[in-house]
Amino acid sequence: MTYPQQPPFPPEQGPQWQGGYPPPQYGPPAPPPPPRRGNPAGVVLVAAGGVVIVGLVIAIIVVLVRGGGSGGPEARQDPTPVTESSPAEETTPESTPETTPEETPRESPEETTEGRGVFPEAMDGSWSGTMTQYDPDGAEVSTWELEIHMTAGERVGTADLSMGDGTTCEWEVLATDSTDESVDLQYSTTDDGGGSCTSSGFVHLIVSGDQLAAGVATDWPTGVSTADGMLE
């Protein structure tokens, strides 16, 4: 669709000004009104709601702080009367050392002496036999004679040793543990035969029919040396 062109008009003589009125004067346009961003009442309510929330948070913090502060002194005051007015804690350390140290050391040696570490009835008397000595590597090095003297129910006995070259040594033996058919002894050399015997060692005896199986262990500079034999 095409539209006919209007005839040209001289300046300020267009059809809108044909009534003879002077043309309007144009100035700078008036600033537009500010856009409406929302309801002012809603803004006030939101602001008021924020103040209320902040107030509630502050109130809760104050209550918590006061509650923690009020609970603190009570918790601190609780241990004070307990420690000050608790005679049980003060009397307990006084009564404990009086009973424990007196009873324990007296009972322990009695039990050890009566029930352990004594010569059994089956080993009462004197027993002798040949012992074979081995070096720490297990090789046989010598033989010697052992004669041991024990009294049933006692803890201390003696032993005599005779070497192949005629040297003799003497032991004192102490029972450290025992059963009805075995005993563990610790020996101390009272006569070393001029340096031929070690100063100390251990002996284990076991009843074997009418005999005693004997084992001896002692420290050598190169390791542990053992000896074994049967005593009659």
Count CB neighbours of 231 within 10 A.
19
Count CB neighbours of 207 within 10 A.
16
Cα 3 to chain centroid distance, Å, stands at 105
DSSP category for residue 166: S
Q: Which residues of the chain have pLDDT under 50?
A: 3, 9, 12-21, 26, 41-47, 52, 57, 62-65, 67-89, 104-115
For domain 121-231, give the fold.
Lipocalin (2.40.128)
pLDDT tens-digit profile of 119-175? 999 999 999 999 999 999 999 999 999 999 999 999 999 999 999 899 999 999 999
Please state the pTM of the whole predicted model: 0.52
Judge contact between 186 and 173, C-beta under 8 A: yes
Judge contact between 120 and 182, C-beta under 8 A: yes
Strand 156-163, strand 200-208: pairing: unpaired
CA atoms within 13 A of residue 223's CA, in its CB half-sphere: 8
For the chain, domain boundaries: 121-231
Distances (CA, A) of 228 to 111, 132, 143, 225: 31, 6, 10, 11
Give Cβ neighbours of residue 228 (< 8 Å, ≥ 6 apart). Answer: 131, 132, 213, 214, 215, 216
Q: Is 203 exposed, middle or buried (0-12, 13-18, 19+ CB in 10 A)?
A: buried
